[in-house]
Structure 1
Amino acid sequence: MNHALQMLCRLLDLLIARGLLLGLVVWLFSVPSFAANPAKPASPSGSPQEVLQSSVKNWVAQSRKVSADEVLLAPLDARVKVLACDKPLAMDVPFSSAETVRVRCARPAWQQFVRVSVASKAPAIQAQAKVDTPPESAKRWVLVASVPLQRGMVLNETHVQRAQVDASVMPVNVLEQTTEVLHAEVVRDVRPGVPLRSQDIRPTVLVKRGQMVLMSVGQPQGFQISARVEAMQDGRFGEQIKLKNRDSGRELSGRVQGPNQVMGL
């Protein structure tokens, strides 16, 4: 009797063990494998320049009802650094030609001009250009305001940028190089994207009468001496002004080179 009871217990233990093992196998095959699930695609990434180019392509494709693959972009000016934008880029066509797209960022504030063309419409555009528009050679790289410029603002390289503009609608005396606005101030308000003319700016006052300025004599790459002298009059960049050595009382002359800096004559 005891032996029969022992055999029955062993049989029950065996069935329970097999049942648990079978349940474990069924559970493993019923739960979806983590490896089988497709990985989520990574968020799109790219440099600020790549984001700008992609945004322009999509905007032009949507506005002209074409495929983004048909939109061609001219290379950006390598001297202009594209900054990352915290807000969605805004785009429009500020000039008469639809080939120039203006891209603007609200934060940080900047704008960039991009030359575009549509491959499927290139023949038609070229045919019309022969009759109605000036040739490509009539376009020039000029200096335009990159931000709103207000009268009295002292300019630096961040306030302007170079853009290609149709020569037929270009005003006279247009500036072309960033160096032309250094140490200059605006004499009238200028809207962003508008070409800068020589009459829109003037040299800013870098030295004021009564101030102590640094006067240098000699060659910058060779022997040079410097001394502190008093400015006897206001001076703009490049102007010749009178100076005075307070210790000796001697009057001197110098040419304004920068803020409170003159080169002795």
Structure 2
Amino acid sequence: MLALASLLWWALSLTEAAAAEPNQAPPSAFDVLQKQALQWAASAPAFQGKTVHVAPLDSRINVQNCQQTLQFDQPFPGQPSVRVRCPQPQWQLYVTLNQGAEPAVVTRGGPAAPVLHKVLVSKELLKRGTQLSPSMFSMAEMPAAGMESQLIIDPQLIANMELVRDLTPNTPLKTYDLKMAVLVKRGQEVQVTAGAGQGFLITMRAESLQDGGLGEQIRLKNSESGRSLTAVITGPNTARLR
């Protein structure tokens, strides 16, 4: 009987201990994103050695769980906007890495006035596929709560970019509105240079074997010799041998 009583007391103690421990919910998809973003920023040249935090996302953005490690890059140098991509399931979004510690939440007595942000807005209707130039946009100030990480404010960043959707007049330009413009298309003739800055300059004609945008490496075929070569795109139908 004594052994049975001891066994019952031990089982009861375990049950009470388990009940006393609070249930710890697994980290949310955004918590995982924040952790991996800060790990990436620690070795990224633009953020290395700096204290940064992930700015809150628009409440309308639902971060999905990713079954693999998230991938990060900074397609717009000079801006705190960072692209986050998930391989499985496939999705991407942009977050902002702001410098400094994450600000404390301040409770206000009444609604605060909306914060105005400088944004690039289109001067007129721009169709999908339009290759952009700074002259197509003007600066404006408007509320942009939750969109800070998606806004483009430097007009120089849109050079050699094209729209992926129609843009109505006075619409703020966002990172997901554009992509790198195709400056060289497969089958087109490309002027290729070599030796620039080395005391000599050679120019040749080659046929592009693939599409590509500014700074991308593509394969070409010399129009005279038929030899294959690799070059970096420097402009519309122009490239430089590596």
Q: TM-score, normalised by structure 2?
A: 0.49
- Larger relative contact order (Cα-Cα within 8 Å, sequence gap ≥ 6): 2
Higher helix share: 1
Bigger-Rg structure (1/2) = 1
